[in-house]
A and B are shown apart, each in its own frame.
Chain A
Amino acid sequence: GGIITQTPKFLIGQEGQKLTLKCQQNFNHDTMYWYRQDSGKGLRLIYYSITENDLQKGDLSEGYDASREKKSSFSLTVTSAQKNEMAVFLCASKQGRNNQAPLFGEGTRLSVL
């Protein structure tokens, strides 16, 4: 079996700071995703990538950048952290051309002071 590893697990930032979250998967999956989950809410898609160096915007991409430099890794940057922002960022991946469900990492919990 494989694993999706997100780093860091906890991230505390300052207002206006640029923050980067990383995700690595060893499933050899083609497609990777970043979702945001606010407290008590569902998951919302920020970015996804169907292959190395590909980026596709989700509904929530404003305020974020993403990078897929290798097939196994997908990073997300919060371009300017908002004061009092608290959310969990979840990375997921799936094999390319099928209808399998994406699998999720354990998340990065962000707090902005």
Chain B
Amino acid sequence: AQKVTQTQTSISVMEKTTVTMDCVYETQDSSYFLFWYKQTASGEIVFLIRQDSYKKENATVGHYSLNFQKPKSSIGLIITATQIEDSAVYFCAMREGDNYAQGLTFGLGTRVSVFP
């Protein structure tokens, strides 16, 4: 069975610095897809970035990038040049295999607080 673990409950950083948060996953499948979402204080859930298991290059979108370490089953999220608006809860999620419609399995989230 698939499982996603985010061990960091909360992280505090100063504005304009870099924050890194961890996520490890368990899967028996050779093909899987990893996602990061952000949940704002209002409850809105926003998709940020995706990593496909067969791709060796780390995905990057804007000031979000991933540190994909396949042998360690690890997919870290890196946010550079943080802004106050990056304060949110960040969720790591996974989908196994080739069933495009299958739902995602989520971690418990990491709360990031960005201070001026």
Given A33-B103, A106-B44, are A42 and B91 also a contact pair (CB < 8 Å)? yes
In whole angstroms, how far apart are the Cα atoms of A30 and B103 in the complex? 13
Q: Is the CB of B52 within 8 A of A99?
A: yes
Binds A, one of B14-22, B66-74, B75-83, B104-112: B104-112
By the criterion of a CB under 8 Å from any partner CB, how many residues of chain B are at the interface? 25
Q: Contacts of B33 on A, CB cut-off 8 Å?
A: 99
B100's contact among A33, A44, A56, A98, by CB below 8 Å, is which? A98
Q: Is the CB of B52 within 8 A of A42?
A: no
Q: Is the CB of A48 within 8 A of B103?
A: yes
Q: How far does the Cβ of B59 sit from chain A's closest Cβ, in whole Å?
A: 12
Interface residues of B in 26-61 (CB under 8 A from A): 33, 35, 37, 42-47, 50, 52
Q: Is the CB of A101 within 8 A of B47?
A: yes
Interface string of A28-63 (1 = CB under 8 A from B): 001101010000111111001010000010100000
In whole angstroms, how far apart are the Cα atoms of A94 and B108 in the complex? 22
Interface residues of A in 83-112 (CB under 8 A from B): 88, 90, 94, 96-104, 106-107, 109
In whole angstroms, how far apart are the Cα atoms of A30 and B107 in the complex? 25
Given A42-B91, A44-B106, A101-B50, are A106 and B101 also a contact pair (CB < 8 Å)? no
Interface residues of B (CB under 8 A from A): 4, 33, 35, 37, 42-47, 50, 52, 91, 93, 95, 100-109
Interface residues of A (CB under 8 A from B): 30-31, 33, 35, 40-45, 48, 50, 56, 58, 88, 90, 94, 96-104, 106-107, 109
A-B contact pairs, 13 of them (CB 8 A): A42-B91, A42-B107, A42-B108, A43-B106, A45-B103, A45-B105, A96-B100, A101-B35, A101-B50, A102-B47, A102-B104, A106-B43, A106-B44
